[in-house]
Structure formats: structure tokens, C-alpha cells
């Protein structure tokens, strides 16, 4: 019998393609998963749709939850501009829940 040749696997540690592949590509060089890329893009788009509470130059008409507050004491503390409801739908979608 002739001399036994060492397995190529030992020289290809950390590469993809196995002993017969020519790829010198490591696992961190793999292209991103298209589904994961799309999900990430959708999450970023949803975050950009998140609304601030309405603030008007005339504080009487501002939402009570805006940073400047509302000058109308009859409006109370609850959101009256719809931002809370809108943002709750976005937050539920980001958490994977049904709104």
C-alpha cells in the first residue's frame, strides 16, 4: 500500500464548502438572509411612522401629552390627537401582537 494522504478537512477548518470546495469563505462572510433583511427594513420603517403628540403654536389646541402641554384645563391629561392609538398599533406590530 502507498502512503496515506492526510484528509483535506484538517486544512479547511473554518471554511465553507467542505474538503472538496474551493471557497475560502467563513461563516461571517455569508450573505444576509433576505427574509431577515426584509423584516429589519420593515421594523425600521414602522419605527419611522411613530408619531409625536400634536403641538400647536397656540397651546390651547395642543395635545395634553405633548412636551409643551395644553393650556386648556378641560382637556385633562389624556391624548386627544390620536398619537397614543396610532403608536399602540405600531408597537403591537413590532412586538408581533395583534392590535
Measured CA to CA, the distance from residue 87 to residue 52 in angstroms comes to: 9
Angle 4-21-38 from CA coordinates, rounded to 5°: 150
Q: For residues 14 and 25, state if they share a domain.
A: yes
Q: For residues 36 and 26, state if they share a domain.
A: no
Domain coverage including residue 1? 1-30
Question: What is the total count of domains within the chain?
Answer: 2
Residue 5 has pLDDT above 60, yes or no: no
Q: pLDDT band at 97, cuts 50/70/90? A: confident
Q: For residues 14 and 51, state if they share a domain.
A: no
This prediction's pTM: 0.59
Residue 21 has pLDDT above 70, yes or no: no
How does pLDDT run across 37-95, given as a tens digit for each residue? 898 898 999 999 999 999 999 999 999 999 988 999 988 999 999 999 999 999 998 88
Residue 11 has pLDDT above 60, yes or no: no
Radius of gyration (C-alpha) of the chain in whole angstroms: 28
Q: For residues 44 and 83, state if they share a domain.
A: yes
Closest-CA residue to 42 (of 98, 99, 84, 96): 96
Question: Cell numbers 399602540 correspond to what residue?
Answer: 88
Amino acid at each position: 500500500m502507498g502512503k496515506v494522504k492526510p484528509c483535506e478537512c484538517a486544512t479547511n477548518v473554518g471554511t465553507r464548502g467542505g474538503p472538496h470546495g474551493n471557497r475560502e469563505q467563513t461563516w461571517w462572510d455569508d450573505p444576509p438572509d433576505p427574509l431577515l433583511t426584509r423584516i429589519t427594513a420593515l421594523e425600521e420603517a414602522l419605527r419611522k411612522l411613530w408619531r409625536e403628540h400634536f403641538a400647536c403654536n397656540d397651546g390651547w389646541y395642543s395635545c395634553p401629552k405633548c412636551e409643551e402641554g395644553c393650556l386648556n384645563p378641560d382637556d385633562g391629561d389624556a391624548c386627544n390627537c390620536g398619537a397614543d392609538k396610532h403608536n399602540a398599533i405600531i408597537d403591537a406590530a413590532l412586538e408581533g401582537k395583534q392590535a
